[in-house]
Amino acid sequence: MIYGIGIDTVAIERFQRFIDSGNTAVIDRLFSSAERARCTGRKDTASCLAARFAAKEAFLKALGTGLRDGLSWHDVEVTNNALGKPELILSGKAAEHFEANRLVSKHLSLSHDGGSAIAMVVLESK
């Protein structure tokens, strides 16, 4: 049963400005060290970060909470499986909300084109 669906779009240019200005504080606040390592050094660093931020926003929309009740950007991490498929790893308050709502699975899709990064998250319950 579908519990929630979240979609978010982010301008890649926004993250390119953070990179160009050396604003590492905002990048550190939004992304885990693993996410930063995955995106840094790629020629598409800004689109990689923008897609991950869109995924975090889409997850919070699907969960229906937004970023409150102690949730942190670091509680939602975007990884990739062995085949490159994006996945969400939850910890802290995000994991607590996921379990408290009896959710059983999460699905993530990412895309970027035309200067935007887009993410969609579907959460399923029992």
What strands lie across the sheet with 2-11, from one edge to the other? 2-11, 116-125, 103-113
Amino acid at 2: I
CA angle 69, 75, 76 (to 5 degrees): 115
Q: Which of 56, 93, 106, 112 is catalytic?
A: 112
Q: Which of 56, 61, 97, 106 is catalytic?
A: 61
SS3 97: helix
Q: What is the 3-state secondary structure (H, E, C) of 4-28?
A: EEEEEEEEHHHHHHHHHCCCHHHHH
61 is an active site residue: yes
Structure tokens given for 50? 């923008």
Measure CA of the first residue to CA of the last residue in the chain; give whole Å: 6
93 is an active site residue: no
What residues are annotated to the active site?
61, 112
